[in-house]
Chains A and B, each alone.
Chain A
């Protein structure tokens, strides 16, 4: 690994160098109903609009590579014949600036399914390959964050540059030659012993600040053993089946496809929209039979897919512990609490 150190003032220069590309980063959206900062990812045109001291965003980065609604193709109709026109909807390389580990790990997980299996999804893959990611070490997790339990609080790959705020300077881990080149345009130096020490201190403080833990030991087996447990019913009774959890989740990717004919009957289009397995029609088939008609069965399925099925397939869970679903859920359903209850334990905040 190659490391560099640079003064805080240099960051703006770095931003301006790359701002020839569209840049997406955290921006402030005011305060929520509890007076806490609301931050969202959006296009950023001015360095001062970046809100780099954010803790977490309400929505994940998902919509920039897996839009909630996306046109997959259009058809030109011509009597009994037709032609299919495909557009991958990638026009420009995007730079993602100041992204935390949870979102990048979420992206890495999605990549496994959407790019890695036998039928790569070109719409996602094309966008993913046209990304330049400048990551930012998240140093003040929210009380609801449990990424450390999921092993997603650190980053191994999936970014170009990872910055850690050491107070007056940034510690930079460089992961690609492009990132290395770009850093040449600003003033950097090689890290010295005291930089390493400071880095270690900062990370230790961060690790101490996690307030929520999830025990994932043997979770795949426990979920199977507790498949009929009453707690699922209890959570199901609370759940509003609104799908908000999937909406804000960086790793939920289930979708539905819809086709429409233009009014003039000359063309047609095929659109996909992200769906949620908590919504009632998710597993309904022709003739009206529904494989998961009850709320608790659907809620259970969502946990199953994330914490069992995906683990079986990829040896890791489909949850990065960002806590967004719990923060957004109007019924107050959180992953740590559900998992603790399935394990037969009260969930406790330390």
Chain B
């Protein structure tokens, strides 16, 4: 056979622009654990600082977004950013030790470096809510993602009408961020904290967040026209809260929830976070109630 000319169909190097894309896929920053506080028996507050000063300044997020936190060799998981957005790359995460990654994290000390990618996901549109009443309703660990919008609203307090925070936990000693309630109260807000199972020291309200919510809804004049509602908590709480405010005629686009699903990539790839085929990591975790109603199996 005569000699054939060999053709190398493409050169073998990976196109350089893919290498650039790679950094955008990763969005990874190295961050140092600068401080940790035990908040309750199960939850710790982690203060993290992105190490590179420029990256730290450039890191911005919106209230409600989350980061993927990685401990090399152990794993990666999503956590809501629980600090004020004006603090850029100095972020706080409040994390409950429940499994592999979170228990390992629980044993780490100050000064350890972890990986952070993000911020990912949708956020609470706090600017849109300006000029109106804002009602923030949290159950249990649901206060963690609500803390960033709380900071945002309080930092711009004059731009909002009445601000309500309604937060319920099982027992007094499972309440999170107790050390901040006094500061929050100074911003002329209605802070209502309730527990299911009071102990002897508890003097506040007892019962569900929905009891307080009902009372407040009835008090607020023209509720449906003047108010935005943000809620985060266990699925059963969503159901009651949403039913209640919908009954009062609140338009569906004025009610926001943050939903949680399993996540492995946070980037719309692994499909683990799908609710009826919507990626929670891209189209959520913050959804308005209209979108939630259009998702099968959402709550």
Contacts and interface: CB of A to CB of B under 8 A. Distances in A.
B18 A122 contact: yes
Given A259-B73, A309-B278, A13 B272 contact: no
Interface string B71-91: 011111000000000000000
B9 interface: yes
B261 A84 contact: no
Contact of B269 (A90, A121, A269, A297): A121
Which secondary structure characterizes the binding site on chain A? mixed
Nearest to A186: B4
A339 to B, nearest CB: 16
B112 A80 contact: yes
Nearest to A122: B22
A256 B14 contact: no
B296 A227 contact: yes
Interface in B1-53: 4-12, 14-15, 18-19, 21-22, 24-28
Interface stretch (A56-64, A163-171, A281-289): A281-289
B74 to A, nearest CB: 6
B269 A113 contact: yes
A119 B268 contact: yes
Contact of A132 (B9, B14, B112, B262): B9
A126 B25 CA distance: 13
A18 B9 contact: yes
Given A119-B24, A185-B7, A283 B14 contact: no
Contacts of B74: 259, 261
B102 A283 contact: no
Most buried by A among B5, B24, B27, B271: B271
Interface in B260-281: 260-262, 264-265, 267-272, 274-278
B189 interface: no
B292 interface: no
Interface string B212-254: 0000000000000000000000000000000000000000000
B73 A93 contact: no
B22 A86 contact: yes
A81 interface: yes
Contacts of B123: none
Contact of A309 (B14, B260, B265, B274): B274
A68 interface: no
Contacts of A92: 12
Interface stretch (A24-32, A300-308, A322-330): A300-308
Contacts of A90: 14
A88 interface: yes
B76 A259 contact: yes
B205 to A, nearest CB: 27
A260 B267 CA distance: 22
A113 B296 contact: no
B268 A126 contact: no
B294 to A, nearest CB: 9
Nearest to A93: B10
A172 B276 CA distance: 42
Interface in A19-51: 19-21
B265 A130 contact: no
Most buried by B among A84, A261, A277: A84
Contacts of A113: 268-269
B81 to A, nearest CB: 18
Interface string A106-132: 000000011001111110011001101
B73 A285 contact: no
Contacts of B264: 255-257, 272
B282 interface: yes
A257 B4 contact: no
A20 B269 contact: no
A99 interface: no
Contacts of A82: 72, 113
Contact of A259 (B5, B75, B268, B269): B75
A254 interface: yes
Interface of A: 13, 16-21, 75, 77, 80-82, 84, 86, 88, 90-93, 95, 113-114, 117-122, 125-126, 129-130, 132, 160, 178, 181-182, 185, 224, 227, 253-261, 268-270, 272, 275, 277, 282-287, 291-292, 297, 301, 304-305, 308-310, 312
19 contacts: A20-B6, A75-B72, A84-B72, A90-B14, A95-B9, A113-B269, A118-B267, A119-B27, A119-B268, A129-B15, A255-B269, A257-B75, A257-B264, A259-B74, A259-B75, A261-B74, A268-B72, A269-B73, A304-B296
Given A254-B271, A304-B276, A310-B277, 20 more contacts: A13-B4, A80-B112, A80-B113, A82-B113, A84-B28, A93-B8, A113-B269, A118-B282, A120-B21, A120-B25, A121-B25, A125-B18, A129-B18, A130-B14, A181-B7, A182-B7, A255-B270, A260-B73, A291-B297, A309-B278
CB-CB nearest 7 A-B residue pairs: A309-B277, A268-B73, A261-B73, A119-B267, A75-B72, A254-B271, A122-B22
